[in-house]
Structure 1
Amino acid sequence: MREPDISIAECSYRRALEIVSNKWTALVIYALEDGTSRYGTIKSRIADISQKMLTQTLKQLERDGLVVRKVTPVVPPAVEYALTPLGMTLLPFLRMLKEWSSAHYASVSEAREAYYAEHQDQDASHG
C-alpha cells in the first residue's frame, strides 16, 4: 500500500517536519551533537535563544524521545541534557541541511534581493 500523500495529516513526513522544522529544535540538537551539556552551555552556544524558548524546546525534545534530561541531586541541582540514540539519528540529516545552506544560501539571498527589487518597483507603480 502506498504512503499517504504529503497533504494528508497522517503522512509520516509531515509528522517528522512537526518535530524538526522549528529552527530552535535543529540548533539545540546541534548544540548537543558533541555530547552531554548543561543548560547554560546549550544557551551560550545558541545566539538569540531566550530562556523560555530553550526550556520549551528541550521539553519538547525530551517528550519526543530525542533528548534525555538527567538531574544530579546536588545543591543547586545539576541538570544535563544529551541526545538519545533516536536523537542522534537526526544528526546526518541536519548536517546535510547545514551543508546545503553553506553551498546555496548565497543564491537564496541573491534571489530574495532580486525579488524585492522587482516587486518594489511594482509596488511603487501601484501605489
Structure 2
Amino acid sequence: MKDIGHCTTSCDRIKDVLARIGDKWSLLVIIALKGTGVMRFNELKRHLGVSQRMLSITLRELERDGLVTRTAYPTVPPTVEYQLTTLGESFGMAVRTLSQWAIDNLDEIDTARADYDAAQQNA
C-alpha cells in the first residue's frame, strides 16, 4: 500500500477519486455490474431506476476512471454494453463489503435514526 503522507496534493487526488466513485449512482452501477457481468445501457437504466442523463454521466465518469468499459455494436438501434474492468472488479469487492455492512446494520441504523428524530422533536 502506498503511503499518502501528509501531502496536500495526495489528499486532493484522493478526495477527487472518492467523490467520483462514492456517489450513489456510481456505487449502484458497480454493484449491478458486479452481480451480472455485462449489462446494456437500458438494462442498467431500468434496473437502477435512474434517468438517462444521470446514467450517461455516471457511466462516462466510471469509464474515464478506468472502472468500466463501454462496447458499442453497430446495430439499429445501437447496442451499448458496459462491463467492469479489472480495476472496477477490485473496487467492486470493496463496494460489496460496504454493501454487506449496510445490510447487516440496517435495523440498528433505523433504530438510531428513530431515536435521534424522537429526541429532536422532544428538545
**Corresponding residue SS for 1:80:** strand
2:72 alignment partner in structure 1: 71
Alignment partner of 1:38 out of 37, 40, 56: 40
1:10 alignment partner in structure 2: 10
**Corresponding residue SS for 2:95:** helix
Max radius of gyration: which structure? 1
Q: Tell me the TM-score normalised to structure 2 length.
A: 0.86
Q: Which has the higher helix share?
A: 2
- Give the aligned length: 120
Q: Deviations over 1:18-77 (max 9, x none)?
A: 232101001001111121111111112113x11111111001101111111111112222
Structure 1 unpaired stretches of 5+ = 123-127
Structure 2 unpaired stretches of 5+ = none
Q: Tell me the TM-score normalised to structure 1 length.
A: 0.84
Check 1:5–1:15 CA distance in 2 against 1; reply closer, same or farther (3 A cut).
farther
Q: 1:2 Cα shift?
A: 5.3
Larger relative contact order (C-alpha < 8 A, sep ≥ 6)?
2
Runs (4 or more) in structure 1 with deviation over 4 Å come to none
Check 1:65–1:102 CA distance in 2 against 1; reply closer, same or farther (3 A cut).
same
